[in-house]
Amino acid sequence: MNFVFTKIKTKNAIIKVPSSKSYTIRALFCAFLSGLPCEVNNICRGEDVDATLKCLRKLGAKFALYKTKVKFFGFSKITNKKIVLNVKGSATLFRFIIPVVLIYYPNQDIYFYVDNNLLKRPLDGYQDLFEDNKIIFKQMNGYYVLNGEIAKQEIRVDGSKSSQFVSGLLLSLVNYHKPITLKIINLKESRNYVLMTLKMMEKFGVKLELNETIYFNNLNYLATNVEIEGDYANATLLMILALLSNRITLKGLNFNSLQGEQEVKKILCKAGASLKEKENELIIKKSSLNGLKVDLENCIDLGPCLMAYALNLKTPSRFYHYSRLKYKESNRLDVMLNIFKKIGAKYVLTDQYLEIIPSKIFFVGVLDSYNDHRIVMALIILSLINKGKIEISNFQAINKSFPNLPQLISKMGFRLKENSRPFVLTGVSVLDNFQIPSDGYVLGYEKFTSFAGKKFTFHEIQELSFKYNIFLQLNALVKQNEIQDLSIEIEKLSTLPISFIVQDIGMLNILLKKVSASRIIFNPYTLICNKLDANEFSSYGLLCVGLSNEITLNDLYQISLVCPSFLSIFSYAPMYQSYRQNIKLYKNYYSKSFLNNNLKIKERTRTENYPILENEHGTVIFRDYITNYLENIEYLENFKYVYLDSLFIKPTVLKNVAILLSNYFKNKLSLEEFKRKINNLGLNLQDGFMYQDSIYREKKL
Amino acid sequence: MKKIELLAPAGDLNRLKLALIYGADAVYIGGKEFSLRSHASNFSLKDIKKGVDFAHKLEKKVYVTCNIIMHNDNLNNLEKYLKKLDNIKVDGIITSSLAMIKLIKSQTRMEAHLSTQISCLNSEVINFFSRYNIDRVVLARECSLNDIKQITKLSEKEIEVFIHGGMCSSYSGKCMLSNVMTRRDANRGGCAHSCRWKYDFVKNGKVISKENEYFSFASKDLCALDYIVDLIQAGVSSLKIEGRMKSANYLCAIISSYRHLIDDYYNHQSLDMKLYHNLMSLGENRHVGKGFFEGNVTIKEQELILSDKFVNAGDFIGIVKSYNKNKKLATIELKNKIINNASYLLLTPKQNPQIIKISRIIYQNQEYEQYTIANHLIRIKCDTTLKPYDIIHKLINFE
């Protein structure tokens, strides 16, 4: 699923923070292990919690699931049934449930299914446990089998692999039938997660101190009702969105929480954020912050969001203890740094810290979440900072901990929507065109633009590029003796946060060497008429490929299904491009001196007047009508970009058309109404080749 | 250095043979599928095979043009068709489609030549297509001699350059005049030559050109006789003559002219430009210009100033089919009126043109003083020894 994040109109909002997934899972285990009637309220719904509940049920838990509440009735042991547990993508669940199984179902085969993206060796931390107790844990083809029991009276666990191994043993050893000792070594980072485990156990009546050696003797979980507190890692996303846009009030956070991520408040305040704690509410106002200093040791989940946010601060930010980012749902360090490279953000990575340097970001294209919910969140922040348009792929990863995110942030005036409409680009012939609602603006350049609504200088483009999403229409065909000059121009232009629309394949080749392919639309006008060729060009990772205006609607539709496509949907399309100075030669020959502005030509036996242009790149002749695809807009949903041209079209008309289209896409206008209003504009709109294919093979003479 | 290739068009099997005999090193032809020039009587697979066999016996080559801009409907059977062409040993395919190039290079043993439809104006275009292992690039006709020299220097691929024949007014492949105005798609072989029509300039709804000062932006034909040596020295691999729809007479004269020039150059003979131009004049039927060789075109390359196209109507008398040395009688396929006891010009594949006299005209055992029915096989008496494929041409006074 590809989603796009957009700012509609931000507003003050009061939002209940989604509850902590970590606490939810811990509470569910405690409730299960108690074997008694318990209630866990305000749970965090998401894939991990759902998987946890399913697994616990497989192990014999009796409970009823409500919207945000689980009511436990007790436990009854499963007999005569193979136990198959699907832990999906939850490392926490996998690690918590292993010792539980060993205690509840000793010496029998237990089968585990695990999602592919879970780490390669997810149970490293239990190596000592398995070896000391001769427990068999085998990886089979697509699943794991566990068989054994805890036999030794002393269990050793290495906390350096993950605190989750420590937590798993703490939770389960309470119910071991004999006194037992847990020896914890190397527990440094993420210590607070273990404290969270102990805190939850305490709520269920089991009080233990975190020491290197812990004795379990005659402990019992009690029947309890608990309320899960808000999650600071998820709240961090909302806080940053507020800092970047508007005030929000967050509810449901515990100000004395043990969650390591609650550190975010201090981190942000130190950098100048306005955060106010008022009774049970946290109020955050829009503010401009200095660089952050973040020690990730106990709040590793803050990493991706704060790293993204750091790009928009006044001074550089530093992140210490970043190495554990590598061992999360994805290798978050590599993923984030790759994203930074892709979007052109600057950073310095040393052994001690990662420094992120504030950078103006312009990126248009798709960024992958690597199926990691925290990366999705970081990409949402990048979307807000970015001048271009980001499509977040594998957005569904958000369901792991924050499935109601789209609904929640719509309260703040943001929209997260599956990308099912084309981006609209609008040509600029007068500066007023920038007032037109559009996903991007198409400008001509003083050099290498053959025809465009208006040509701009480098400095004008530079200035505009920080305000708007700019697409430069470099549609000249390039002579060999211009190649050097072109390379210099492209070198210069590549530093600007803009995208390019090009016709010449040589120019495409130069651009591919200088800028990311995702910033290039290859639009050779007449050349791309079938899906094979379209696909072949798009295989370079181009933003999209421009399809010919001379093929049928059906062909356009078919091609748009297989390749990211671009189409001029409202334009006086060119029908002749030549290097010849036809008008100049004519004027010289007949000694004429008429000006070329508003010039048209008419074939002597016909009535149509065709616009004609001439400049140093040659002569271009256009159709006498606007090829109008708006009449069929519903067939163009799969197009990635559609283009409203400004050449020969009055700015007021273009504005009207763009507003109507924008309103149609926002569902403010029905399809019928939209079409009716377009047709009422009184323009010479025609279907071009949409329905009628050319007659190209005549009978033999 | 490898000798430059002279590449000629052929509209049918007969012209293919003539083109090769008159000195082309290779011919390009259109198949029934995927080829531009729908008016050219395109080749069936059977004829392609005959043509290829004929060419290969002479150690010459046949390329097949598959240069339409394909729409989705055109994609069916593409691979099958290419494999069939491969099986009958076609040497190369001329195409503008990236997808087709990929198929040719992965599924067949044939060469892939990038069509001029791509408008290859610079070496970066070649760099782009080099990834696909293309063998040759046909440059856009808009390239100047200097451009050609530079591109050839920078490119590792074979470079082919148009030297003679029709010029599009627009960049090739970019012209939709015919398609928009008549629904005949030039990119799929239906060009109606709308650039040759008469236009008026219009401003604010009013025609501003005078009746006799119409605007036309068609191009004169190209003739590169004066640039051949430069092109050879630049390292160009192939010189291409345009005109799959042109007559046998035209082809033979043009090919012969360039053949003489190229051979004289490689044989270190002095170049007799007058002879080459004279030879060419036997075939010319339209005014010619220098194209873009010197840079952008001038008024001399535009058809604007010449509405009266001159055609050498009736100049092509016939082709010799056989000759009986004892009786001194030649069988010829007649194309235009022939008159007894008149002198004619003889064009042969190898020698310079010479004057011949005929003294009898016989059709089905009956003697004639003149004969006019085209395509009839007649016999003529001629003391000069004639050979099959020799061409009899109206006598003209060379300058």
At B154, is the pLDDT very low, low, confident or very high (cuts 50, 70, 90)? very high
Across the interface, whether the CB atoms of B174 and A589 are under 8 A apart is answered no
Query: Which residues in chain B have Cβ-Cβ distances shorter than 8 Å to A509?
Result: 124-125, 127-128
Give the closest-approach CA distance of B332 to chain A in angstroms.
25
Q: What is the pLDDT of residue B264?
A: 95
B41–A576 C-beta distance less than 8 A: no
A interface mutation test: which of B124, B132, B300, B301 has the most A CBs within 10 A?
A: B124
Mean pLDDT of chain A: 91
Whether residue A574 and residue B146 make contact (CB cut-off 8 A), yes or no, is: no
Rounded mean pLDDT, A330-359:
92
Residues of A in contact with B100 (CB under 8 A): 532
Query: Which chain A residues have a beta carbon less than 8 Å from that of B161?
Result: none
The pLDDT score that the predictor gives to residue B184 is: 87
Task: Give the pLDDT confidence score for residue A696 in this predicted structure.
Answer: 44
Look at residue A693 in the predicted model and tell me its pLDDT.
Answer: 62
Least Cα separation, residue A647 to chain B (angstroms): 17
Answer whether residue A184 shows pLDDT above 80.
yes
* Chain B neighbors of A697, CB-CB under 8 A: 38, 188-190
Average of per-residue pLDDT across A182-208: 90
Nearest to A602 among B102, B143, B207 (CB): B207
Residue in A with minimal Cα distance to B186: A696
Nearest to A604 among B127, B129, B198 (CB): B198
Q: Which residues of B touch A606 (CB under 8 A)?
A: 181
Give the pLDDT mean for A336-349. 91
Q: What is the pLDDT of residue B314?
A: 63
Q: Give the span between the Cα atoms of B195 and B199, in whole angstroms.
A: 9
Chain A neighbors of B215, CB-CB under 8 A: 582, 586, 601
DSSP character string of A474-485? E-----GGGHHH
**Contact assessment for residue B239 and residue B163, using Cβ atoms and an 8 Å cutoff:** yes
Closest CA–CA distance from residue B397 to any residue of chain A (Å): 33
Using a CB-CB distance cutoff of 8 angstroms, which residues of chain B are in contact with residue A550? 176, 179, 185, 187
Task: Return the residue of A nearest to B145 by Cα.
Answer: A480
Quick one: average pLDDT of B222-241?
97
CA-based nearest residue in chain A for residue B185: A696
Sign of the Cα torsion B100, B101, B102, B106 reads positive
Amino acid at A595: L
Nearest Cα neighbor of A118 from A92, A145, A146 is A92
Residue B313 — very low, low, confident or very high, per pLDDT cuts 50/70/90? Answer: low
Q: What is the pLDDT of residue A697?
A: 40
B310 pLDDT tier (thresholds 50, 70, 90): low
Helix axes A21-34, A191-203, angle to 10 degrees: 40
Give the tens place of pLDDT for each residue, A595-624. 999 999 999 999 999 999 999 999 999 999
Pairwise CA distance, residues A483 & A505, whole Å: 12
**Contact (CB<8Å) B70/A588:** no
Quick check: B358 and B342 in contact, CB under 8 A? yes
B69, B143, B150 member nearest A527 (Cβ):
B69
Residue of A486, A490, A508, A530 to mutate for B, most B C-beta atoms under 10 A: A530
CB contact under 8 A, A589 and B181: no
For B59-103, the pLDDT digits (tens) are 999 999 998 888 888 888 899 999 999 999 999 999 999 999 999
Cα A570 to Cα A12, A502, A563, A654, distances in angstroms? 39, 18, 21, 9
Contact B169 A580 (CB under 8 A): yes
Q: Which of residues 33-52 of B touch A (CB under 8 A)?
A: 38-39, 41
- % residues pLDDT > 70 (chain A): 97
Return the residue of A nearest to B150 by Cα.
Answer: A480
Copy the structure tokens of residue A536: 């072949």
pLDDT of residue B399: 57
- Which whole number is the average pLDDT over A274-285? 90
Q: How far apart are CA A138 and CA B12, in angstroms?
A: 73
Q: Which residue of B has its CA nearest to A592?
A: B209
Whether chain A has a CB inside 8 Å of the CB on B151: the answer is yes
pLDDT digits (tens, 9 = 90+) for A644-696: 999 999 999 999 999 999 888 877 788 889 999 999 999 999 989 888 765 54
Is B170 in contact with A602 (Cβ distance < 8 A)?
no
pLDDT greater than 80 at residue B398: no
Cβ atoms < 10 Å from Cβ of A598 = 12
> Which tens digits make up the pLDDT trace of A395-432?
988 988 888 899 888 889 888 887 678 999 999 999 99
Nearest neighbour of B171 by CB, restricted to A532, A552, A577: A577
Q: What is the pLDDT of residues B315-345, one digit of tens each?
A: 889 999 999 999 999 999 999 999 999 999 9
Residues B121 and A505: their CA atoms lie apart, in Å, by 9
pLDDT at B306: 57
What pLDDT score was predicted for residue B37?
57
Query: Strand A275-278 vs strand A281-284: parallel, antiparallel, or unpaired?
Result: antiparallel
Give the gap in angstroms from C-alpha B119 to the nearest C-alpha of chain A. 8
Segment A254-260 shows an average pLDDT of 90
Q: Is pLDDT at B38 greater than 70 in this prediction?
A: no
Whether the per-residue pLDDT at B34 is higher than 80: the answer is no
ipTM higher than the 0.85 cut: yes
- Partner residue opposite B184 with nearest CB, options A573, A575, A695: A695
pLDDT class of A698 with cuts at 50, 70, 90:
very low
8 Å CB contact between A610 and A621 = yes
Please say if the pLDDT value at position A281 is more than 60: yes
Residues 192-211, chain B, touching A (beta carbon < 8 A): 194-195, 197-205, 207-208
Cα–Cα dist A508/A511, whole Å: 5
Q: Residue B185: what pLDDT?
A: 86
Kindly indicate the confidence band of residue B51, based on its pLDDT and cuts at 50, 70 and 90.
Answer: very high
Disruptive mutation site among B70, B71, B293 for chain A (greatest number of A CBs within 10 Å): B71
Query: For B176, which of A477, A550, A599 is closest by C-beta distance?
Result: A550
Closest residue by Cα to residue B351 from B254, B259, B235: B259
In one-letter notation, the amino acid at residue B4 is I
Query: What pLDDT is attached to residue A98?
Result: 96
DSSP state of A395: G
B93 to chain A, closest Cα gap in Å: 17
Q: CB–CB of A599 and B305 under 8 A?
A: no
Q: Which residue among A483, A504, A604 sits closest to B200, beta carbon to beta carbon?
A: A604
Task: Report the distance separating Cα A377 and Cα A240, nearest Å.
Answer: 10
Compute the nearest-CA separation of B174 from chain A (Å): 6
**Do A536 and B177 lie within an 8 Å CB cutoff?**
no
Closest-CA distance of chain A to residue B202, Å: 5
Contact across the interface for A483 and B123, Cβ inside 8 Å = yes
pLDDT band at A276 (very low <50, low <70, confident <90, very high): very high
Q: Which long-range contacts (CB under 8 A, 24 or more apart) does A233-236 make?
A: A233/A259, A233/A261, A233/A299, A233/A301, A233/A302, A233/A305, A233/A374, A233/A401, A234/A17, A234/A18, A234/A377, A234/A401, A234/A402, A235/A17, A235/A264, A235/A282, A236/A261, A236/A264, A236/A302, A236/A305, A236/A306, A236/A377
List the single residue in B with minimal CA-CA distance to A577.
B170
A701 pLDDT band (50/70/90 cuts)?
very low
Residue B397 has pLDDT above 80, yes or no: no
Phi-psi region of A218 (alpha: psi -120 to 50; beta: other; left: phi over 0): left
In this prediction, what percent of chain A has a pLDDT beyond 90?
72
* Cβ–Cβ < 8 Å for B164, B9: no
Tens-place pLDDT, residues A90-147: 899 999 999 999 999 999 999 999 887 676 667 888 999 999 999 999 988 778 999 9
Q: CA-CA distance, A608 to B181, in Å (whole number)?
A: 9
Q: Which of B44, B217, B302 to mutate to test the interface with A (most CBs of A within 10 A)?
A: B217
**pLDDT tens string A545-589:** 999 999 998 899 889 988 999 999 999 999 999 999 999 999 999
